[in-house]
Amino acid sequence: MNRELLEKQFLDSEIKQREGNHGKLISYLEGHTVISRLNESFGGEWSFEVTEYGIDEANDEICVLGKLTAENVVKMQFGSTAITRNKQTKAAVSIGDDYKKCVTDCIKKCATLFGVGLHLYGEKTEPRTQPAPSPDYVPAPSTTTPAPSPGRLSSKQHSYLLTLSRGHGLTRREVDALCIERFGVVLDHVTRSEASLMIEEFNSMEAAVPSQAKQQPERQTVGGVH
């Protein structure tokens, strides 16, 4: 087992951050990044199996117990994710998608037992606060375009994109294929800025339909027959 490769630290560009409790930033890895490391370390010769799963109604989340096997070594861990609900109706948006997120979380947790990304758990995170500027400080004008937010798309963006894609006759598989072609990842792993770009493009496509319809000549009726 190549422990050195398994425990190799990831590049800064591969490490994402999200806001956790009390405004602290939490570093994490996306599912496809962890899977790539497992494939690289074991030459694709590894397997994952969900042994137990269920819904924790008290905490409104899905939980799974998974088993990751590689080179006759077995590691087991739990994974969990909150159920995505419609803000107005409180109905579950897609339990199937939530289970997929939960399984991805479980794979990542199992992989840490092999040493993948383990160095992130030793990092200290600081609250997202900025020091007070000096009274003499004058900000220089920005000459660069702000970098897109690295955070994963929100549940609202996820739900809205699925609604828009269905309106255009696209299946979930086709949406994932489109995201892979555009951004190299499936819908669940696009960033907020990438999701905003897709929403804008879908809405632009919808806006173009009525403008095209206005250009079509009206049908003429003759003698009451049309």
Are 57 and 109 part of one and the same domain? yes
Distance, in Å, from the CA atom of 113 to the CA atom of 79, rounded to the nearest integer, reads 13
Distance, in Å, from the CA atom of 177 to the CA atom of 115, rounded to the nearest integer, reads 31
**CATH number, domain at 65?**
3.30.390.80
Are 108 and 183 part of one and the same domain? no
Backbone angles phi, psi at 14, to 5 degrees: -90, -15
Residue 150 falls within a domain, yes or no? no
pLDDT at 170 over 70: yes
Instruction: Name the amino acid, one letter, at 36.
Output: S
Q: Is 54 helix (H, G, I), strand (E, B) or coil?
A: strand
Question: Measured in whole angstroms, how far is the alpha carbon of residue 157 from the centre of its chain?
Answer: 10
Are 8 and 100 part of one and the same domain? yes
Determine the structural domain holding residue 118 and report its residue range. Answer: 3-122
Are 7 and 118 part of one and the same domain? yes
Are 14 and 63 part of one and the same domain? yes
pLDDT confidence band for 17 (50 / 70 / 90)? confident
End-to-end CA distance of the chain: 77
Instruction: Name the amino acid, one letter, at 82.
Output: A
> What mean pLDDT do residues 94-103 have?
92
Angle between the 95-113 and 31-42 helix axes, to the nearest 10 degrees? 40
Are 108 and 178 part of one and the same domain? no
Distance, in Å, from the CA atom of 9 to the CA atom of 116, rounded to the nearest integer, reads 8
* Best CA proximity match to 18, nearest among 33, 31, 29: 29
Distance, in Å, from the CA atom of 137 to the CA atom of 104, rounded to the nearest integer, reads 45
pLDDT of residue 63: 94
Mean pLDDT computed over every residue of the chain? 79
> What mean pLDDT do residues 202-218 have?
56
Residue 129 falls within a domain, yes or no? no
pLDDT confidence band for 74 (50 / 70 / 90)? very high
Residue labelled with tokens 């900025």: 130
**Tell me: the pLDDT tens digits for 112-124?**
999 999 888 765 4
pLDDT at 104 over 90: yes
> How far is the CA of 142 from the CAs of 129, 130, 139, 149, 193, in angstroms?
21, 18, 9, 17, 20
The better pLDDT of the pair 184, 98 is held by: 98
pTM as predicted: 0.53
Are 189 and 114 part of one and the same domain? no
pLDDT at 148 over 80: no
By mean pLDDT, which of 32-41, 68-77, 177-186 is the weakest? 177-186
Structural domain count, the chain? 2
The better pLDDT of the pair 67, 134 is held by: 67
- Out of 71, 97, 122, a domain closes at 122
Contact 111, 38 (CB under 8 A): yes
Are 201 and 111 part of one and the same domain? no
Return the bridge partners of 213, or none: none
Are 24 and 109 part of one and the same domain? yes
Pull the structure tokens for residue 219.
């049908």
Residue 28 falls within a domain, yes or no? yes
